[in-house]
Structure 1
Amino acid sequence: MSKTPVTAVFDIGKTNKKFFLFDQNLKEVYHTYTRLEAIPDEDGFPSEPVLPLREWMLDTLKKALEFQEFEIKKLNFSGHGASFVHVDDSGEPVTPLYDYLKPFPEDLLEKFYEENGGKMAFCQQTSSPPLAMLNSGLQIYFLKHAKPEQFKKVKHCLHLPQYLSLIFTGQMVSDYTSIGCHTGLWDFAQMDYHDWVKREGIEPLLPPILPGDSLLQTKPELGSIPCGIGVHDSSGALLPYLNQEKNPFVLLSTGTWAISINPFNKTALTEAQLNQDCLQFLSISGQPIKISRLFIGEEHKYQVEQMYTHWDLPLGTYKKLKFDKAIFEKVAKNSKKRIGFHYLKPQDYGLGRAQQSDWNSFPEFTEAYYTFIYELTDIQVASLQLVLEGAEVNRIYVDGGFNANDIFLEMLRIKLPGKEIIPSDFPNGSALGAAMLVNMNF
């Protein structure tokens, strides 16, 4: 019996660690996943269990190489950003994989910004909002200045996706998609590492940069398989759309966060845009991509729970609602009813509103929900405009949780006349993008 040739991909998120096999048409034919318990770092803060992760990945691939029905022809990785693995010369981790939610010492952060021309000037140069540990390059600065004894052991600093590749190839590299992921490492005007990286002596710790579609090879004991260098998960998720769509477009990727991605927008960031959570990524070839972020999923979850409690409604009630133009027009006229958002910042988007939601001012759930989505889409449109400005497109794809929300989509269509709003879904998009990269299929 002949084996089906497949591409294997490890897709390592913060919660789920997944393994996929894709056939020659890039259709998923197998998957498995695990969850691993966080391990406290030396300060007691949870950290990524990097050694158990390595053990699971090696074990999973070895089992897959023995499958009777599949033959693994290529291997690649996608991983969450803002995460560094610090290793010695042999590639062994010498520190915990610090969590990007770990608090950053305030005095050290202030010192860093003072040394680099002030917070907002630095943020503009690196196209990164000030996000403390989420600016993952600053994790190396933190290690050098707050934990010098541990820092002495560090010979190489690898972004997580490239560490995953190292496990199987033994080779240390860097890639643009991880460097460009709000790291604070990259000077977008100079298109090179920022001066602070050189001044602090950190550049020699960063392995050479390769294009995202580069191929290495797994170690002989792991089959000598052509192997990718890994990709940042959000950048990987964009690739299926670039493959499918030949005209300029924006991807609105929704979930806990709504990420507006315009791969055709190369314009520089303004200070105002940075303050509105707008930043730039780097493409697999090192080109800037403008994106904006909005904490929309968490806001929706919070407000819907409040409404369900107020009207004593069962979970899932909002999913039964369909768009009704008459209700929309009523809500649009009644602009005095303002939702007091819990997570979003009104000053960022110029939408004045009450400090607190008064659900008693609404006759029933449907009108309250419409009002909430009306105001949420006002802010979503403002967030989208940040990436549309300077590079207008006619087509906006919406994937993730909100692509099935009829009311959300219809309100976007009304508020963005002339734009085609297309609900779309590539399940496991970041893994699919990683598979495409090693097959030159985009």
Structure 2
Amino acid sequence: GHVIACTHGAALVALDGAGADAGLAWEPLDYEYAALDGAAAQDFAAGNDFGETLSPELPAGLNAARQLWWMENTHPAAWRRTRCLVPYAQYWAWRLSGVACSEVSSLGCHTHLWNPHTGDFSRLARARGWAQRFAPLRSAWEVLGPVRADVAAPWGLPAAARVHVGVHDSNACLARYLPGALDGAAQAEQTLLPALTLVSSGTWTVLMAPGAPASALVAGQDMLANVDVTGRLTPTARFMGGREFAHLLDGACADAAGPQDLRALVAERLHAYPAFAAQGGPFAGRAGCVLWQDRPLPA
């Protein structure tokens, strides 16, 4: 009876209107699209203030604002068609309900677009005119309406299903542990944050520590502030754990090994030193290697 989209961050969709009959102004960009990491990106980087956004400079399109900057400067005709911007989770909410909106956990996910201190768009987003293009803010748990009739039948969804705003994936994991988060922001703002560190795994290993001091964040080590579903600043550190694991598996089935194999690896002093993934984390840019008994692994 309920539908809620949960997607990765650093992803935006541009619409040529804000209504149910709108279409794409341009196709969404992959945050690993190499063209976004060219020499022109240096011009863009100067516009971000880490002290304000707590969003570090990241490669390719992992700062969603770079996607907007690139489209505006390299595809002006497509940019002129842009009437409404929505984060990726809210794109699916729009597809399902016909109602366009934005949401803080997606906007506050290393985008350069959000100021987690003030709970509003960043100076960069305002100066570039991007803030005004985003659909109105709604809370992740709000109901936008029923599934559109022209979507329900072909997608096999109940016609009476209610569509919620949607959420950034790691923040969906965090929400259940936040006091008051499921009862609304007003209560949550008056409740002390728990002392916890949540580790969310997938392509990224994301460590979120609500209540930790933002002053401890180091931009060069891929530390940043996410924003939880109630809008509160959430210190975060991360690396591409899933990508590292997949590289080390080299096509093998992850279930092929058991505890006895792990014990054997430890006994043989076999170590994998990061990074094998090209992006993310404190070791990004360093070539990963595997050592056996403190020597390079034989070929």
CA gap 1:319/1:194 in 2 versus in 1, 3 angstroms: same
SS in 2 for 1:168: helix
Equivalent position of 1:416 in the other structure = none
Separation (CA, whole Å) in 2 of partners of 1:361 and 1:241: 41
Q: Deviations over 1:383-432 (max 9, x none)?
A: xxxxxxxxxxxxxxxxxxxxxxxxxxxxxxxxxxxxxxxxxxxxxxxxxx
CA gap 1:201/1:269 in 2 versus in 1, 3 angstroms: farther
Unaligned runs of 5+ in 1: 1-71, 309-313, 332-336, 365-442
Q: Which is greater in Rg?
A: 1
Is the aligned partner of 1:229 residue 2:199? no
When normalised by structure 1's length, the TM-score is: 0.52
CA gap 1:344/1:215 in 2 versus in 1, 3 angstroms: closer
Superposed counterparts of 1:172-321, under 5 Å: 172-218=100-146, 221=149, 222=152, 223=159, 225-242=161-178, 247-265=194-212, 267-268=214-215, 270=217, 273-303=218-248, 316-317=256-257, 319-321=259-261
Unaligned runs of 5+ in 2: 153-158, 180-192
Check conservation: 2:116, 2:231, Cα contact below 8 A.
no
Equivalent position of 1:108 in the other structure = 40
CA gap 1:318/1:158 in 2 versus in 1, 3 angstroms: same
Check conservation: 1:215, 1:227, Cα contact below 8 A.
yes
SS in 1 for 2:214: coil
Compare 203-212 and 151-160 and name the one that shifted more.
Answer: 203-212
- What's the CA shift for 1:217? 0.5
The alignment of Structure 1 onto Structure 2 pairs a total of residues equal to 265
Check conservation: 1:180, 1:186, Cα contact below 8 A.
yes
> Which one-letter code corresponds to 1:287 in the other structure?
R
Equivalent position of 1:435 in the other structure = none
Equivalent position of 2:185 in the other structure = none
Superposed counterparts of 1:358-373, under 5 Å: 358-359=291-292
CA gap 1:266/1:175 in 2 versus in 1, 3 angstroms: farther
Is the aligned partner of 1:126 residue 2:67? no
Equivalent position of 1:97 in the other structure = 28
Aligned CA RMSD, in angstroms, stands at 3.6
Check conservation: 2:105, 2:168, Cα contact below 8 A.
yes
- What's the CA shift for 1:177? 0.8
Separation (CA, whole Å) in 1 of partners of 2:231 and 2:11: 19
- What's the CA shift for 1:85? 1.1
Check conservation: 1:127, 1:269, Cα contact below 8 A.
no
- What's the CA shift for 1:300? 4.2
Separation (CA, whole Å) in 2 of partners of 1:321 and 1:256: 24
Check conservation: 1:169, 1:216, Cα contact below 8 A.
yes
- What's the CA shift for 1:241? 4.1
Equivalent position of 1:162 in the other structure = 90
CA gap 1:154/1:339 in 2 versus in 1, 3 angstroms: closer
- What's the CA shift for 1:188? 2.7
SS in 2 for 1:289: strand
Which 4+ runs in 1 deviate beyond 6 A? none
Q: Deviations over 1:222-268 (max 9, x none)?
A: 5354321111111112234447xx95321122344321111232524
> Which one-letter code corresponds to 2:52 in the other structure?
Q
- Percentage of identical aligned residues: 21
CA gap 1:231/1:317 in 2 versus in 1, 3 angstroms: closer
Compare 248-257 and 178-187 and name the one that shifted more.
Answer: 248-257
Equivalent position of 2:276 in the other structure = 343
Separation (CA, whole Å) in 1 of partners of 2:260 and 2:246: 16
Check conservation: 1:217, 1:224, Cα contact below 8 A.
no
When normalised by structure 2's length, the TM-score is: 0.75
Check conservation: 2:56, 2:220, Cα contact below 8 A.
yes
Separation (CA, whole Å) in 2 of partners of 1:354 and 1:212: 39
CA gap 1:91/1:343 in 2 versus in 1, 3 angstroms: same
Separation (CA, whole Å) in 1 of partners of 2:69 and 2:288: 39
Check conservation: 1:86, 1:94, Cα contact below 8 A.
yes
CA gap 1:348/1:95 in 2 versus in 1, 3 angstroms: closer
Separation (CA, whole Å) in 1 of partners of 2:147 and 2:257: 53
- What's the CA shift for 1:340? 4.7
SS in 1 for 2:199: strand
CA gap 1:316/1:152 in 2 versus in 1, 3 angstroms: same
Higher helix share: 1
Check conservation: 1:124, 1:269, Cα contact below 8 A.
no
CA gap 1:187/1:239 in 2 versus in 1, 3 angstroms: closer
